Amino acid sequence: MSDYRRANAKGGTYFFTVVTYRRQPFLCDERVRTALREGIKATQLTNPFTIDAWVLLPDHLHTIWTLPPDDADFGIRWALIKRFVTKQCNPEFKRDEWLNPSKLKRQESTFWQRRFWEHQIRDESDFQKHMDYIHYNPVKHGLVKKVSDWPYSTFHRYVVQGVYDMDWAGVSGDEKLTGFGE
């Protein structure tokens, strides 16, 4: 294993990408969405955090979280959420033929990709770029033509708050939008 060091800022705001194992496209399934909601709520009871932005796509999700001022442990939160969802949904989505010696040794399922990607948000501009990236992601992946057509994100909440217009980043014809996130 590499010596990868994660960010460790108490009270920090972070952008995350979490992916299904082998990019299986089942995250938008109603049972999985329900398990994610329940897993997040259960985790927040013991390990609070705020979800600032969110998008759920068939094979991955992006989110921005802010942790409490005295806490930097986002890893335990993801472990708890992933474990909860796996226990709720794994029998239905389990792929025994994909279990390998490494997964068996670590007692991992075939639901989630190991680990996750995180980026510590540096400032308001960085926050806005990543929030835009999150909300634009369904268009980027060809799932919808307009951001407002995707139901599994916080975009609509931000429209109500006046942060975005309902037609923000809609793509028509050959129009291309660039400069989001990553």
Q: pLDDT band for position 182 (50/70/90)?
A: very low
Q: pLDDT band for position 17 (50/70/90)?
A: very high
Give me the residue label for tokens 């995250």.
27
Q: pLDDT band for position 177 (50/70/90)?
A: low
Query: What is the set of domains in the chain, with CATH numbers?
Result: 13-160 (3.30.70.1290)
- Tens of pLDDT, residues 75-97: 999 999 998 998 888 666 665 65
Residues near 138 by beta carbon (within 8 Å), at least 6 away in sequence: 55, 57, 144, 147, 149, 150, 152, 153
pLDDT value for 1: 44
Q: What is the mean pLDDT of residues 112-130?
A: 91
Instruction: Select which of 4, 133, 136, 152 is catalytic.
Output: 152
Residues near 82 by beta carbon (within 8 Å), at least 6 away in sequence: 18, 39, 111, 112
Q: pLDDT band for position 125 (50/70/90)?
A: very high
Measured distance CA(122)–CA(12) in Å, rounded: 9
Q: Taking CA 155 as the corner, what is the angle to CA 152 and CA 158, rounded to the nearest 5 degrees?
A: 140
152 is catalytic: yes
91: nearest Cα among 2, 47, 26, 143: 26
Q: 10 Å Cβ neighbour count for 164?
A: 20
